[in-house]
Amino acid sequence: MSRLQTRFAELKEQNRAALVTFVTAGDPGYDASLAILKGLPKAGADVIELGMPFTDPMADGPSIQLANIRALAAKQDLVKTLRMVREFRQDDQSTPLVLMGYFNPIHKYGVPRFIADAKEAGVDGLIVVDLPPEHNVDLCEPAQAAGLDFIRLTTPTTDDKRLPKVLNGSSGFVYYVSVAGVTGANAATLEHVEQAVARLRRHTELPVCIGFGIRTPEHAASVARLADGVVVGSALVDRIAKAETPGQAVEDVLGLCRELAEGVRAAR
Amino acid sequence: MTSYRTGPDATGLFGQFGGQYVAETLMPLIHDLAAEYEKAKTDPAFLEELAYFQRDYVGRPSPLYFAERLTEHCGGAKIYLKREELNHTGAHKINNCIGQILLARRMGKQRIIAETGAGMHGVATATVAARFGLQCVIYMGTTDIDRQQANVFRMKLLGAEVIPVTAGTGTLKDAMNEALRDWVTNVETTFYLIGTVAGPHPYPAMVRDFQAVIGKETREQLMEKEGRLPDSLVACIGGGSNAMGLFHPFLDDASVKIVGVEAAGHGIETGKHAASLNGGVPGVLHGNRTFLLQDEDGQIIDAHSISAGLDYPGIGPEHAWLHDIGRVEYTSITDHEALAAFHQCCRLEGIIPALESSHALAEAFKRAPTLPKDHLMVINLSGRGDKDMQTVMHHMQEQKESVV
């Protein structure tokens, strides 16, 4: 079983949802970012999404745009992001780690080389925002052939006709983008989330994680009652933006992660 | 004979370029748009309406003008100018805007968004939105807003809301990112009116088709005047819509030499340029695979050009393909060369060209003297230069000071 399968099976046994956290690699700098990454599992993150910085994050709102800018200013690149994953894996063999970002840096790195290096570093899955199933051959198929999960985004605009196409080739989990919009946008209503999860469950056995606009432990808890996982990104990244020192950034991100984890764990 | 005019394939690819690299939220809409456009382009009612607006609103056909004094000055090829700058709103941009707004109306969209660099596409979009009574939001980088004040004012007069984009260097690429973010947020109500032959399929093909009226007219007009096809075509390229519009109807005419001119800015060797084909490598941005200015890590590098309309780190995927297979030759012209050509055109023909179009003029002026007098060359004068007065004034001032 893959790390993602194992983790979601464990959580099902415990009857609780996963807390999925997103931070951008290299934000606010390599060392602090690595410290955040290493601290997240202990602070209650069940699955880690690590952003690969890109100059043109077209599907991201202001918080994650700024995170990308900070990381790039600190000279983060894909080589360093993979090194960060390797360092993380030295003392954590169980927490699933998914790289998330845009296709161009991977394309430039070279797809076969990227897949080999990501696998070797201990990456479990990929989320690539601008690779819809129409472009499965570009990365999804070779990545899955090498044993990396390819996690698809589904959205309110993905109708029943299109859903099978999107889910076909998805593995690991399904990421439901609960609002049409960019990251950090307003949250969807719980009614919408409930209906969306029910609709997805009719089409897939994969765990369903809900993201976009979830910022507080209370909110995370209410979504955790409905889905298999709760994704929080912008709210964590905002803590880095507000911190005055890298040390404080580490502390504040992990602090919020602990609060969110409590919310998720107390939900059911 | 293999045709160069059949692309893209059903998946939106021209060879290995193009495609639909966008977020899932947009995919259903992009498929709808492609289907709607497929229907529209063979619907006589749509084509008739398009022809009506092209004629009575845009002012088509635009003249094909024999530039006698430029021809004399160069002392070689016979130079014709395709006068797209005489269109309503002063550039070729309106050809595409009319087509897309009619499509938006067919699809029942109430809100139009667009990105703009020099402001010409923004003005053309605001114009058609006003004409059809639709809400209009234009994204424009703050750097471009500073250098194109008059166009910002025009857009506002036409009832558009102009949203300044501060991200990145505040130029066209950043405006396009922000427009995509708006679209993903308002996908049900909003039509994204892309201004060039880039973005996800069907935009590159659709915008090309709406602009191909330039080449079709040129063909007929030159046949009428000279009784034959041109020997060469020259057009400037940012995203590449005016060039694609002129080139496409001639791609299968092997005797026609076709030249696209990128912006070399301070010079390609300086790294401060906008020449994606001559100074970039393939990558994926804004919905398509094409040549991009990027660093070793695949991060997009900001383009530089004196002309805001060419200031973009990518290029339409069909151009990338034509470059790859060698059907079109792509060269580049620096800021300086473009300015010199700008002045020559003003003085010799009494036509103030856009700085974008001045790149095509500069390339033509290099080639024309080496060619025989019976060589027929058509330059696409894609826009007028009124919007560039500030930039040119500023540059002349700088030159004066550097001489002192």
Tens of pLDDT along B128-164? Answer: 999 999 999 999 999 889 888 889 999 999 999 999 9
**Mean pLDDT confidence for A215-239:** 97
Q: In the CATH hierarchy, which fold is given to the domain comprising B13-55+92-202?
A: Rossmann fold (3.40.50)
CA–CA separation, B168 and B171 (whole Å)? 8
**Mean pLDDT confidence for B97-121:** 95
A73 at B interface, C-beta within 8 A = no
**Summary count for chain A: helices (H), strands (E):** 12, 9
- In chain B, CATH 3.40.50.1100 sits at 13-55+92-202, 62-90+212-402
B284 at A interface, C-beta within 8 A = yes
Percent with pLDDT over 90 in chain A: 97
Residue corresponding to tokens 């473009």: B338
DSSP for B87-122, written as a single string: SGGGBTHHHHHHHHHHHHHHTT--EEEEEESSSHHH
Q: Quick one: pLDDT at residue B146?
A: 87
Residue B10, SS3 per DSSP:
coil
A103 to chain B: which residues are within 8 Å by CB?
A: 21, 284
Query: How, if at all, do strands B78-83 and B111-116 pair?
Result: unpaired
Residue A159, SS3 per DSSP:
coil
Q: Which two tokens stand for residue A52?
A: 């690969």
ipTM exceeding the 0.85 mark: yes
Q: Do A132 and B298 touch (CB under 8 A)?
A: no
Long-range contacts of range B29-36, CB-CB < 8 Å, 24 or more positions apart?
A: B29/A157, B29/B187, B30/B200, B30/B201, B30/B202, B32/B107, B33/B103, B33/B107, B33/B202, B34/B201, B34/B202, B36/B103, B36/B106, B36/B107
Q: What domain range includes position A13?
A: 3-265
Residue B41, SS3 per DSSP:
coil
A129 to chain B: which residues are within 8 Å by CB?
A: 23
Q: Do A177 and B25 touch (CB under 8 A)?
A: yes
Residue corresponding to tokens 């260097």: B169
Q: Quick one: pLDDT at residue B289?
A: 98
CA–CA separation, A51 and A84 (whole Å)? 12
Q: Do A135 and B21 touch (CB under 8 A)?
A: yes
Q: Are B362 and B332 in contact (CB under 8 A)?
A: no
Q: Are A134 and B11 in contact (CB under 8 A)?
A: yes
A55 to chain B: which residues are within 8 Å by CB?
A: 168, 299-300
Q: Are A166 and A133 in contact (CB under 8 A)?
A: yes
Kindly tell me if the per-residue pLDDT of B366 is higher than 70.
yes
Domain count, chain A: 1
Continuous segment of H or E residues that includes residue A231? strand A229-232
- Res. B1 pLDDT band, cuts 50 70 90: low
**Mean pLDDT confidence for B193-219:** 98
Could you report the per-residue pLDDT of A100-145, keeping only the tens digit for each? 999 999 999 999 999 999 999 999 999 999 999 999 999 999 999 9
* Window 96-125 of B, Cβ < 8 Å to A: none
Cα B384-B386-B392 angle, rounded to 5 deg: 110
Q: In the CATH hierarchy, which fold is given to the domain comprising B62-90+212-402?
A: Rossmann fold (3.40.50)
Length of chain B: 404
Continuous segment of H or E residues that includes residue B324? helix B317-325
- CA-nearest of B48, B133, B47, B119 to B90 is B119
B294 at A interface, C-beta within 8 A = yes
Hey, which residues of A are catalytic here? 49, 60
Q: Do A130 and B287 touch (CB under 8 A)?
A: yes
Long-range contacts of range B34-39, CB-CB < 8 Å, 24 or more positions apart?
A: B34/B201, B34/B202, B36/B103, B36/B106, B36/B107, B37/B103, B37/B202, B37/B206, B38/B202
- This prediction has a pTM of 0.97
Q: Quick one: pLDDT at residue B308?
A: 86
Q: Quick one: pLDDT at residue B298?
A: 98
Region of poorest pLDDT, from A181-185, A218-222, B26-30, B36-40: A181-185
CA–CA separation, B349 and B361 (whole Å)? 12
Q: Are A30 and A80 in contact (CB under 8 A)?
A: yes
Kindly tell me if the per-residue pLDDT of B336 is higher than 60.
yes
